[in-house]
């Protein structure tokens, strides 16, 4: 990839395609916490018992198995607006309606109805995620995937902030039904952008029947010589970062930081540091390309995780906390931008929805599986060894990147002969 000049980078950054990526990210991030922490708060206010509130986490199941119906969105094209925009409009209209009806329900009186409506919200939200990921891959040129992915991720985080923090703050002043109505109306922004966006070109060889839509995406992917190495890389690249993040809250409290300090520095300041990191990462990917960026950002992720050890020596020093959080969140934001772009680059445009849904589902496995063991690990080895171990977990992913580079160089030499 030829490096872009600053003028070219600015032109791409200010393009309509990047605004579409950001707003679609916002539309995908906004519903997530409305069936999570916000709904939990509503049920707690209505007197629902803790066991039932815990069981409601199951309504998020569609996010983890969305690859099961993704082939349908690759195979069939709605009558209006095209394959991607048509499905997006269907998912978004259904999602807005589900949010509004969820707000009109009553957790204190009819939990089964609330559960059904919350499940519909997550189903249509996961469906929107499938189509937005496919749309972004097909709409952006390969060299634009890094910046587009970073803006999508940043938009996603803004949507989560509006729904999570904004929704809870609003609930102190207005009923939860009004909160859900307002969030449903906020989703109209995504609907407008979908109507105004251009429909991506349909790649030649897209599925013509359901069997092709289900079988061919997997056959296409696993025919690649590095298919299993790519999957292993997806599992390993951010595993150390995910494990460390899973235990940071109890770590801060044990170090003596107050909840107000954690809320201000870690949550608020950290949020904007992550946004800045994602944006900077997207711009650097334009300059360096995806593989070089993955290498640089992977090293930064490992070093920033190791920096948590510094807080063991400085204690409850807010200035040091802010410095470590800034470095860690900027590095994580950069790494996520490159990681999401890398997964998009692996997909074949004939089966984008199915292949990306599979890869993104796989991306969440380390956070759940490896994260479950972190508490036991800290109890056994202590904080110093735990964060050192998490930092060293960056190495296997970087070694795989080196392997990818060797294979790509060998292919380039063979092609030139």
Instruction: Chunk the chain into consecutive blocks of 10 residues (it has 417) and report each block's average pLDDT, rounded to whole numbers.
Output: 73 89 95 87 85 80 87 90 94 97 91 93 95 92 87 92 87 92 95 94 82 87 87 87 82 84 78 90 89 92 92 89 91 90 88 86 68 80 92 91 69 48
Do both 307 and 272 map to the same domain?
A: yes
Structural domain including 157 reads: 1-202
Residues 147 and 53 in one domain: yes
Give the domain-ending residue among 179, 202, 225.
202
**Which tokens is 361 given?**
């589902």
For position 395, which CATH number holds? 1.20.1250.20
Residues 69 and 128 in one domain: yes
What's the CA gap between 235 and 56, in Å, rounded? Answer: 27
Co-location of 157 and 237 in the same domain: no
pLDDT for residue 192: 96
Q: What is the pTM of this model?
A: 0.84
| 214 and 196 together in one domain | no
Residues 161 and 214 in one domain: no
How many domains in the chain? 2
282 and 173 co-located in one domain: no
Residues 189 and 213 in one domain: no
Rounded distance between C-alpha atoms, residue 166 and residue 96, angstroms: 18
- 228 and 326 fall within a common domain: yes
Report the candidate in 15, 235, 56, 20 with the shortest Cα–Cα distance to residue 136: 20
Task: Give me the DSSP letters along 392-411.
Answer: HTHHHHHHHHHHHHHHHHHH
- Which of 174, 202, 230 is the last residue in one of the domains? 202
Euclidean distance between CA atoms 337 and 293, whole angstroms:
9
Residues 170, 255, single domain; the answer is: no
- My answer on whether 168 and 212 are in the same domain is no
Query: What's residue 367's pLDDT?
Result: 63
pLDDT of residue 413: 45
Give residue 101's pLDDT: 96
Residue finishing a domain among 152, 172, 202: 202
* Residues comprising the chain, all counted: 417
Q: What is the pLDDT of residue 412?
A: 47
167 in the same domain as 314: no
- CA-CA distance, 353 to 357, in Å (whole number)? 6
């Amino acid at each position: 990839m030829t490096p872009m000049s600053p003028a070219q980078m600015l032109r791409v950054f200010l393009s309509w395609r990047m605004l579409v990526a950001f707003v679609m990210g916002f539309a995908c991030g906004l519903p997530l916490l409305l069936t999570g922490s916000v709904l939990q708060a509503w049920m707690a206010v209505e007197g629902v018992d803790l066991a039932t509130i815990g069981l409601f986490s199951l309504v998020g199941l569609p996010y983890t198995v969305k690859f099961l119906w993704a082939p349908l969105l690759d195979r069939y094209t709605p009558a209006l607006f095209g394959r991607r925009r048509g499905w997006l409009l269907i998912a978004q209209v259904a999602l807005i309606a589900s949010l509004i009806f969820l707000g009109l329900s009553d957790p204190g009186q009819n939990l089964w109805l609330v559960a059904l409506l919350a499940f519909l919200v997550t189903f249509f939200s996961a469906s929107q995620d499938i189509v937005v990921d496919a749309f972004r891959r097909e709409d952006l040129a390969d060299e634009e995937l890094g910046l587009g992915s970073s803006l999508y991720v940043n938009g996603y985080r803004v949507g989560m902030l509006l729904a999570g923090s904004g929704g809870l703050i609003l609930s102190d002043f207005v009923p939860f039904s009004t909160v859900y109505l307002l969030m449903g109306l906020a989703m109209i922004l995504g609907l407008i952008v979908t109507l105004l966006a251009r429909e991506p070109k349909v790649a030649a060889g897209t599925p013509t029947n359901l069997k092709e839509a289900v079988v061919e995406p997997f056959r296409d992917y696993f025919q690649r010589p590095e298919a299993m190495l790519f999957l292993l890389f997806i599992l390993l690249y951010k595993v150390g970062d995910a494990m460390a993040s899973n235990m940071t809250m109890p770590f801060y409290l044990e170090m003596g930081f107050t909840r107000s300090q954690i809320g201000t520095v870690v949550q608020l300041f950290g949020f904007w540091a992550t946004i800045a990191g994602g944006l900077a990462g997207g711009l650097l990917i334009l300059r360096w390309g995806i593989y070089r960026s993955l290498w640089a950002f992977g090293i930064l992720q490992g070093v920033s995780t190791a920096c948590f050890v510094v807080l063991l020596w400085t204690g409850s020093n807010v200035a040091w906390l802010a410095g470590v959080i800034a470095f860690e969140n900027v590095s994580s934001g950069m790494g996520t931008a490159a990681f999401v772009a890398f997964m998009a680059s692996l997909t074949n445009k004939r089966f984008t929805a199915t292949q990306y849904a599979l890869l993104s589902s796989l991306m969440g496995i380390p956070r759940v599986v490896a994260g479950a063991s972190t508490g036991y690990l800290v109890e056994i080895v202590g904080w110093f060894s735990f964060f050192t171990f998490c930092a060293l977990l960056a190495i296997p992913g970087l070694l795989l990147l080196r392997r990818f580079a060797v294979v790509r160089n060998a292919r380039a030499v063979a092609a030139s002969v």
